Structure 1
Amino acid sequence: MPLPSAEPAPDSDVYRTLLESTKAIPWRIDWKTLRFTYIGPQIETLLGWTPDSWATVEDWAARMHPEDRERVVNFCVSQSQAGTDHEADYRALTAGGGYVWIRDVVHVVRKEGEVEALIGFMFDISERKATEEQLLTLQQELEALSYRDGLTGVANRRMFDTVFDLEWARARQNRQPLSVILADVDHFKEYNDHYGHLAGDDSLKLVAQALGSAAARARDFVARFGGEEFAIVLPEADAAAGSLIAERCRQAIAELAIPHAAIGGRLSISLGVGTLIPNAEDDPRRFLDQVDGALYAAKDRGRDRVESV
């Protein structure tokens, strides 16, 4: 949506209403004077500063976190001088002394080859940054602490619960699909009874490795859910992708060709898979129960198969 080249005129009430009813905060700076010629009233709701207190770019720079100021100001000035559209993330000071993460998206307006003005939108990205920081902290904890299953080397149930909750929140915030797979080794008690628990442990290690290879996107996450059951979290995977990866997991175990003499065949797994775009009414535990129900349906319908919620 184009922005006004100056503060909207009195006869632009509809246009002004559209601009000022968005959550994004529109603004315009005259390049020659480096003064704000317009900033949306939403700025006061977000940061507490009145629109008329934003007079010059000095006010913008002064209300930036000291750790961000030099980097962001230098970047924005250089990009603007070059006539290049750009965006920058930084922490903006509130009137109450706190900070809010802002993303400034900037369009450089040129006239006869010269920079005339900067126009853009400020977006509140605090929730997104909080999620990113949580994920970073989680990764650091994973490196510093033992959240891995001691037998198979994949993540343990505790780590699964943490990652699942974070990915659920992220999917809900960004309105993106989240898929989860629950997989269980078929006739595992019989395998242990026939071959012994050490052989059973070895087979679980092979299953875990095969699942990790089958669910190999950057953010795919494999965990031992308990006993001979595994869980896989698939961020940004729709139903088709979730089912495809579940079938790939099933085939990966089949290709291991681990003998299972107790049933006269080979070791296999049954899988349940579910997908949704979470909203405020959805319950993550109920969703996991539904995926678990799909897993048991796969067991009831003959094992070595995938069933979907």
Structure 2
Amino acid sequence: MPDPDDATLREALADADVYRTLLESTRAIPWKIDWASMRFTYIGPQIESLLGWPQASWSTVEDWAARMHPEDRERVVGFCVAQSQAGVDHEADYRAMTHDGRYVWIRDVVHVVRRADGAVDSLVGFMFDISERKKDEEELLRLHRELERLSMTDGLTGIANRRMFDTRLGTEWKAAREGGKPLSLVIVDIDCFKQYNDAHGHVAGDECLTRIGGMLQELSQRPGDVVARFGGEEFILLLPGADETAAREVAEACVRGIARLRIPHGGPGVGDIVTASLGVGTARPAAGDTARDFLAAVDRRLYDAKARGRNRIEVLEQGHRAAALRAPRP
């Protein structure tokens, strides 16, 4: 007569075989680490097909850490150890090195097993290959950044647009106020641009704006400068850290650059080539000053340049700055 204990044992072993078969047939890779020895007591055979390392080569947590991308290692190991010591289940994404030196994105899902006295007994978990998911996430991020870039770019000239300028002006104004540094603006307005369009057509007008925008962008050599299309035939240069002398030099370079382009104008009552009028100003922001008032004051200098004959530079003098900020535009 069969022994009932033998039947129970066989049933238990059969169940264990079923569980092992189920675990080892999934794409997720099961594993278990003994906390006291920090050694793997089990890792699924799928690890070899995924990473190329033999199943038997996963002996200790040092093997796991050593096969992680150097840029991820300190962050991930530190996080997992801290969470495990606190008895908190957790997840970690990292790049695991394959046997042939490539990298695969892995997500480790970790469960902390505790003994009756609350001490950590072991860690069990699953490794998942999330490389395709990461590719999708990176593509979405790239598309988001591209969309953000396009939203800050003028569609015609390819330089920064008004939105980008407004964003940077606010940021740089605050930085200048806090750092006690100068901030300069140069506003460039193409002279008699309506007559240019009337004489040459809007396609030529677009080409004129594109050429001038490109030239102004090339003039800007400092990494922090912003060259933007301000609207219509106006361009604006934001020059963080530039004092009065530097701003005037940039404005003069803009005038020379436009002249070198020698874009034919020849409209009624206008000179032979395209020129521009410029307003220039430098601020050292103090409490109570606003970027909007400063921008308006420089814009009034541009208006003065156009009213006084065009193709000239008008500078916001520091000695008259307070009055200029309050003065209404004519």
TM-score (norm. length: structure 2): 0.50
Matched with 2:29 is none
Structure-2 residue corresponding to 1:145:
149
Q: Tell me the residue number matched to 1:135.
A: none
**Is it true that 1:191 corresponds to 2:200 in the alignment?**
no
Could you say which residue in structure 2 is the equivalent of 1:207? 212
**Structure 1's 282 and 141: CA in aligned 2 closer, same or farther, altered over 3 A?**
farther
CA offsets 1:33-63 (integer angstroms, 9 cap, x no match) = xxxxxxxxxxxxxxxxxxxxxxxxxxxxxxx
Pick from 241, 259, 270: which aligns with 1:236? Answer: 241
| CA drift at 1:237 | 0.2
Deviation by residue 1:59-89 (Cα, 9 ceiling, x = unmatched):
xxxxxxx97xx9xxxxxxxxxxxxxxxxxxx
Please identify the structure whose Cα radius of gyration is greater.
Answer: 2
User: Do structure 1's residue 306 and structure 2's residue 310 form an aligned pair?
Assistant: no
1:276, distance to aligned residue in structure 2 (A) = 1.1
Q: Which amino acid aligns with 2:215?
A: A
**Post-superposition shift, 1:268?**
0.6
Residues 1:293 and 2:300 aligned together: yes
Q: CA deviation at 1:219?
A: 1.0
Q: State the secondary structure of the residue aligned to 2:310.
A: coil
Query: Who is 1:276 aligned against?
Result: 283
Determine helix, strand or coil for the equivalent of 2:281.
strand
> How far 1:261 sits from its partner (Å)?
1.3
Shift of 1:220: 1.1
Separation in 2, partners of 1:218, 1:244: 17
Work out the CA distance in 2 between the residues paired with 1:264 and 1:177.
Answer: 36
- Kept after mapping to 2: 8 A contact 1:179/1:274: yes
- Give me the whole-angstrom Cα distance separating, in 2, the residues matched to 1:169 and 1:141: 25
Partner SS, residue 260 of structure 1: coil
CA distance in 1, matches of 2:146, 2:282: 26
Give the Cα–Cα distance (whole angstroms) in 1 for the partners of residues 252 and 304 of structure 2.
15
CA distance in 2, matches of 1:253, 1:244: 14
Q: CA deviation at 1:216?
A: 2.0
Paired position in structure 2 for 1:28: none
Distance 1:192 1:217, change over 3 A: same
Match for residue 180 of structure 1? 185
Q: 1:188-227: CA deviations, max 9, x gaps?
A: 0000000000000000000101111222211111000000
- TM-superposed CA distance for 1:236, in Å, is 0.4
3-state secondary structure, aligned to 1:265: coil
Match of 2:168 among 147, 163, 168: 163
Which of 215, 221, 228 aligns to 1:216? It is: 221
Seen in structure 2, the aligned counterparts of structure 1 residues 143 and 222 have a Cα distance that, compared at 3 Å, is farther
Q: Of 218, 225, 230, which aligns to 2:230?
A: 225
8 Å contact 1:271–1:307 — kept in the other structure? yes
Matched-pair identity in %: 48
Deviations 1:160-191 (A, max 9, x none): 10011101011111100000111100000000
Within 5 A, what are the aligned runs for 1:21-170?
Answer: 144-146=148-150, 147-170=152-175
Task: Report the Cα distance in structure 2 between the residues aligned to 1:235 and 1:142, rounded to whole angstroms.
Answer: 26
Q: Gaps (5+ residues) in structure 1? A: 1-65, 71-139
Amino acid at match of 1:162: T
* Matched residue type, 2:262: A
**Match among 267, 277, 284 for residue 274 of structure 2:** 267
SS of match in other structure, 1:183: strand
Cα displacement (A) at 1:141: 5.5
SS of 2:168 mapped into structure 1:
helix
CA RMSD, 1 decimal: 1.8
Q: Specify the code of the residue in structure 1 equivalent to 2:160.
A: A
Q: Secondary structure at the match of 1:154?
A: coil
Instruction: Using structure 1 for the length normalisation, give the TM-score.
Output: 0.54
Q: Whole-Å Cα distance in 2 between the matches of residues 229 and 303 of structure 1?
A: 14
Letter matched to residue 265 of structure 2:
H
Q: Which residue of 1 aligns with 2:119?
A: none
- The question of whether the paired residues in 2 share the 8 Å contact of 1:242 and 1:273 is answered with yes
1:73-127, Cα deviation, whole Å (9 max, x unpaired): xxxxxxxxxxxxxxxxxxxxxxxxxxxxxxxxxxxxxxxxxxxxxxxxxxxxxxx
Q: Which amino acid aligns with 2:208?
A: S
* Count of residues in Structure 1 that have an aligned counterpart in Structure 2: 173
Specify the SS of the correspondent of 1:270: strand
* 1:5-16 alignment, distance < 5 Å: none
